[in-house]
Structure formats: structure tokens, C-alpha cells
Chain A
Amino acid sequence: MGEVIKVGMADLKLCMSPNAVTTLGLGSCVGVAIRDPQTKVGGLAHVMLPDSTAVKNNGNIAKFADTGVDELIRQMEAAGASKKRMVAKIAGGAQMFAMQSKTELVRVGEKNVNAVKARLAMHGIKIIAEDTGANYGRTVVFYPETGDYEIKAVGKPVKKI
């Protein structure tokens, strides 16, 4: 077992086997895990918002579904991964509060999930598993060695997708 690399909110990290990469307490954000099964190069992005072009202050590219996914792929390719072989697993995108009253923020979790899916599809990367939506927070750990994506939630057994 290697070390576990931590990804913060609106952040992304590259991760090579045997290391693992984690992000804690995903709420409406989405944890996008991508892996090249052959080189075992992987990475995890913790994206907060669906669209970088909708926000003026968009300097932090890891924050958005579109630019975050692009950047993670770019870094993985630079580390020797091939986009053709890449596969993705995604988790998060919950709606934490029943009525998040502000109209633009309604279903932001769902919008994040959809934006991530659209961006991955644009790159031709298949999503092989997902655990998204619902109303609870998730901690995720991704293992590029096996491709396992572990999901922990309060009061629920650990799930592996």
C-alpha cells in the first residue's frame, strides 16, 4: 500500500499506483475519478460548479466540471496515460438541503453531475460506475491500481463501485 493523497474542495490531483487519492465530505460537489487501466495512472478532481464560462471569476480551473475534467486528463496524459484507454467513475452531486431556495442553486448537485458526464463524453471517456444524487455527504477513496472507488457515508456501510 502506498500513501493516500488528499484532494481539497475545488482541487485535483494526479495519482499513480500504488498510491490512492481521496476527497472528504463531498456534498453537492462531484468527485471525478479517472484511470488508465494499463499504465495505472489515475487522478481525482473535486469539482464544485458546472460551467466555467458562466462565472466571471474562473481562475481556479479545478473548480469547474468543464475545465477540471480537461485539466485532469491533460495531467494524466503528461504522466503517460492514454486518453483512449481512460475510464471514469463519479460520485457526489447530492442535494444536501431539501429546498435550497435560490433558483440558480436549485439542483446544483444534479447540474454538476450532468456537466461532468457531458465533458467526459466529449472526450470519449466512458463512465463505468457512479454513485450520485440523494441527500447525503460522501467521502471517496480512489485506487488507480485496481480502479476501486470506495464511498463512505454517515450511517451507511462502505460501498465499493
Chain B
Amino acid sequence: MANLDLNNMEGIYYDVLREIGNIGAGNAATSLAQMLQTKVDISVPKIELLDFSEVGEAMGGEEKIMAGIYLGIEGDISGSIMFLLEEKAAHVLVAKLMGMTDVVDSHEFSEIEVSALGEIGNIMTGAYLNSLSTLTNMKIIPTVPDLCIDMAGALLSVPAIEFGTMGDKMLMIETSFTDEQTINGYFVLVPDLPSYEKLLSSLGL
């Protein structure tokens, strides 16, 4: 595998990463539907390699409050993954998961909501990583997830810093699922550079 440069990633590598994103996000949404015991329509995930300056905008502004679930990846590849949900979507999902009829409309998340959100993040990232593992036949072990609710820009600084050691762009996967209302979730997958190469070569590239 030739030198991989995230700043100049074109053609087949990008296509492969897109496809990984597609399958991972699809799996995650399916798991979510099962968890909520509803039928969920999944749109085709939007996968973008963004400049750091564009990342906040892509999620609706750097100051938009979001819930971020962040965990490390170990095993055959190393790196991290973050799943982000808009604040309102987070409240909606938590209410559904806990069987509540009213959706909380505030910036506050109670302890039990935080715990439910952590579980949602766990399932989403777990499903994503599982499909990645199946696809590449590699052992991928997630570490214990951690949750933070804050401005999108601040949450994204964490994966951005990891991408920042490799280049000036980051790979973001936006996935929308619709049940009664549309919920937007975002995945940011950050394998370190050797892991990117392992991922691609495991797929025969």
C-alpha cells in the first residue's frame, strides 16, 4: 500500500472508506431500531472528508449543543470512534428507550438520561465496529465509552486533534434515521495512520 495521505485522498481509497461508513452506519441504525422496537427508515449516509474549518458547519454550527459518545479502539487496529447526536434527538431517543411519553426539552440531562444515552452510544458504535470487523476480518475491541454533552466544536476537537496528527481533514459520516421524526447522528471514525493502511489492505487494496 502506497503512502496514504488524508489530504489528497481520492478515487478508490475514498470509495472504500465511504463503503465502510455506509455499512457501519446502516448496521448501527438497524441496531437502534431493534433497541427501540420500531421500524426505522435509514437514509443513505453522507460521508465527507472535511477541512477542520468546515466540520462545525457541517453539523449545524460549532456552538450547537450535542451529545458525544467517545471510545477507543484496540485490537488489530487502534484509534477511536465518536458518535454524535443533536441535543433534541438525544432527548427523543432517551424518551423512547425509557418508554416515556413526554420528551424533555431542556439543556439538562438527568443522571438516568445520561446513562441511557451512554447505552445508545454503546450500541451504535458497537454495531458500527462489528460491521467493520466482519468486513475486514480484523479483531476490533472497543474500550469503555465516555459521554459528554457540550458544543459540537468542543466535542469534535477531540477527534480533530487525532486527525490533526495525520493531516488537515477529518472523515465524518452523517446518518439520518426517521421514525416519527428525523434524527441525525454523526460518526467520526479515527483509525491512526498505520490502521488506515491495515484497513485498506485487509480489503485487498
Q: Is the CB of B161 within 8 A of A48?
A: yes
Determine if B155 and A96 form an interchain contact, defined as CB atoms under 8 angstroms apart: yes
Q: Report the separation of the CA atoms of residues A55 and B65 in the bound assembly, to the nearest whole angstrom.
A: 31
B77-116: which residues lie under 8 A (CB-CB) from chain A? 78-80, 107
B157 in contact with A48 (CB, 8 Å): yes
- Quick one: given A9-B53, A154-B65, A154-B107, are A100 and B165 in contact (CB under 8 Å)? no
- Chain A residues within CB distance 8 Å of chain B: 8-11, 24-29, 48-49, 55, 57, 59-60, 63, 94, 96-102, 104-105, 108, 135-139, 154-155
Q: Point out the residues of chain A lying under 8 angstroms from B148, CB to CB.
A: 96-97, 135
Are B62 and A24 closer than 8 Å at their CB atoms? yes
- Report Cα–Cα, A87/B7, bound state, in Å: 35
Q: Within B36-73, which residues are at the interface with A (CB < 8 Å)?
A: 52-53, 55-56, 61-63, 65, 68, 70-72
- What distance in Å separates the Cβ of A93 from its nearest Cβ neighbour in chain B? 10
Asked if B158 and A100 make an inter-chain contact with CB atoms under 8 angstroms apart, the answer reads: yes
Bound: A56/B146 CA distance, A = 30
| A99 lies within 8 A of B146 (CB) | yes
Q: In the complex the two chains form, is A10's CB within 8 Å of B154's CB?
A: no
* B161 x A25 contact (CB < 8 A): no
CB pair B151–A24 under 8 Å, yes or no, is yes
Contact residues in A for B119 (Cβ distance below 8 Å): none
**Given A27-B158, A102-B162, A108-B161, A137–B78 Cβ distance below 8 Å?**
no
User: A25 near B143 (CB under 8 angstroms)?
Assistant: no
Chain A residues, CB < 8 A from B107: 154-155
Closest CB-CB distance, A18 to chain B, in whole Å? 24
B149: chain A residues within 8 A (beta carbon): 154
**Is the Cβ of A28 less than 8 Å from the Cβ of B158?**
yes
A57 to B63, CA, bound (A): 28
* Chain B interface SS verdict (over half): mixed
Q: How far is the CB of B170 from chain A (nearest CB, A)?
A: 10
Main secondary structure of the interface of A (DSSP, over half): loop
> Is B154 touching A27 in the complex (CB atoms < 8 A)?
yes
| Candidates B146, B150, B164; contact of A137 at CB < 8 Å | B150
Complexed CA–CA distance, A25 and B55 (Å) = 12
Nearest neighbor of A112 in chain B, beta-carbon distance: B161
| Residue of B71, B78, B149, B158 most packed against chain A (CB within 10 A) | B158
Q: Is the CB of B72 within 8 A of A96?
A: no
A60 touches B154 (CB 8 A): no
Which residues 124-157 of B have a CB within 8 angstroms of A?
143-144, 146, 148-157
Chain A residues closer than 8 Å to B53, beta-carbon distance: 8-11
Interface residue ranges of B155-196 to A (CB < 8 Å): 155-158, 160-162, 164-168
- Give Cα A102–Cα B167 distance, bound, in whole angstroms: 18
User: Which of A24, A48, A99 sits near B160, CB closer than 8 Å?
Assistant: A48
A100 proximity list for chain B (CB < 8 A):
70, 72, 80, 146, 158
Extra 9 A-B pairs, beta carbons < 8 Å, given A9-B160, A55-B165, A139-B151: A10-B160, A28-B161, A29-B157, A49-B164, A55-B164, A96-B68, A100-B70, A102-B72, A102-B162
Given the interface pairs A26-B153, A26-B154, the reply to whether A139 lies near B63 with Cβ below 8 Å is yes
Task: Please tell me which one of the listed residues A10, A98, A99 contacts residue B164 in the complex, with CB atoms under 8 A apart.
Answer: A10
Q: When chains A and B are docked, how far (Å) is the Cα of A67 from the Cα of B200?
A: 33
Chain B residues, CB < 8 A from A105: 158, 161-162
Given A10-B168, A57-B167, A154-B65, residue A29 in contact with residue B151 (CB < 8 A) = no
